[in-house]
Amino acid sequence: MRRRIAPKTAPAPGPDLGAAAWDDVRVILAVLRHGSFTAAARALGTEQSTVSRRIAALEAALGVALFERGRRAPTPTEAALGLRPAAERIEAEIGQLIDAATGPGTRAIRGRVRIATTDELAAHVLVPRALPGLRAAHRELTLEVLTSYAAADLIGHQADVAVRFFPTTRGELIGRRIARLPTAILCARGRAAAWRRRPVTALDWIAVELAGLATPESTWLAAHVARPPSLLCSSYQVQLAAIRAGLGVGIGPRAYARFDRGLAVLDGADLPALDVYLVTRRAIRHLPRIAVVLDAIAAAVGELTG
């Protein structure tokens, strides 16, 4: 359903991490994830000077530059980017060793998780239904929600987790379908009676038009409704706002009318369902912070199927 963006070419393999201690791996990952020595130090609970010294010592031991120092944030080199997959595998394995020794659930889950999705899924599902429970259960977990209709490049580390309308299982990525959402014609609750007196072909349609992309709902409209939409939007959030305002009707997940008192459903049309997929990188899927986010998102999206 969403535009597919070709991911960037994966960086060349980096130097061997065999000489690096686990603490060094943590420092590398912290700088890569947080974008600066200062932010990495804050996440690790240490000083910026300590992070800088550890990176310099590791660069000397490995014989390569890991970060280019500039006036602003350090820029990771190809060597640092090449190290990241191996570093994340080590991180996951260390976590599994600790859980095996102490029992799962005994460690506080902390760190940052970046979630890429569309604006309407973020606003209607993630923020109200997945994130509150995550924040309550894991106070040291930092969540970042990135919204776009373009597919985030997970291999290039633009995000850690993606909620998408198409499957992705290639290379370093692993994904699964977490829901098949029934769709419906949505309208403003206060105007439902008036809209129901009209045939589907005579309704005022509000549609979403995304450049270069044919969505299931736009394909259905083209096949079943001859008249053009009365309003075109480039955002599903804007479409829903226009529907609530009574400007017309549109196609969306049927469950939105359960959760949004301003919306109602018009029955009588056989509409396509929307498949929702949850995607992450294989190397990080078992990390505790990733696992709890995946579980919370799957549960929240699953509520839309009822």
Reading the chain (306 residues) residue by residue, the pLDDT tens digits are 444 433 444 444 455 555 457 778 888 888 888 888 888 887 777 788 888 888 888 888 888 899 988 777 788 898 888 888 888 888 777 777 766 665 555 467 888 899 999 999 999 999 999 999 998 889 889 999 999 988 888 888 889 999 998 887 677 899 999 999 999 999 999 999 999 999 999 999 999 988 777 788 888 999 999 889 999 999 999 999 999 999 999 999 999 999 899 999 999 889 999 999 999 998 888 888 999 999 999 999 998 886
pLDDT at 273: 92
pLDDT at 268: 84
For residue 284, the tally of other CB atoms under 10 A from its CB is 22
Under a CB-based contact definition with an 8 Å cutoff, are residues 251 and 200 in contact?
A: no
Under a CB-based contact definition with an 8 Å cutoff, are residues 162 and 172 in contact?
A: no
Distance CA 119, CA 145 (A): 10
Under a CB-based contact definition with an 8 Å cutoff, are residues 112 and 45 in contact?
A: no
pLDDT at 17: 52
Under a CB-based contact definition with an 8 Å cutoff, are residues 291 and 112 in contact?
A: no
Distance CA 287, CA 94 (A): 9
Under a CB-based contact definition with an 8 Å cutoff, are residues 293 and 113 in contact?
A: yes
For residue 205, the tally of other CB atoms under 10 A from its CB is 21
In eight-state DSSP terms, residue 155 is: T
Q: Where are the alpha helices (DSSP H) in the chain?
A: 22-34, 37-44, 48-62, 78-102, 119-121, 131-137, 192-196, 216-224, 236-244, 256-259, 288-302
Rg from Cα positions in the chain: 23
Cβ partners under 8 Å of residue 46, min gap 6: none
Read off φ and ψ for residue 163, nearest 5 degrees: -110, 115
Q: To 5 degrees, how large is the angle CA 139–CA 141–CA 146?
A: 130
pTM of the model: 0.69
Task: Please report, for the chain, how many H helices and E strands are present, in that order.
Answer: 11, 12
pLDDT at 74: 86
Read off φ and ψ for residue 171, nearest 5 degrees: 55, -125
Question: First and final CA of the chain: distance in angstroms?
Answer: 21
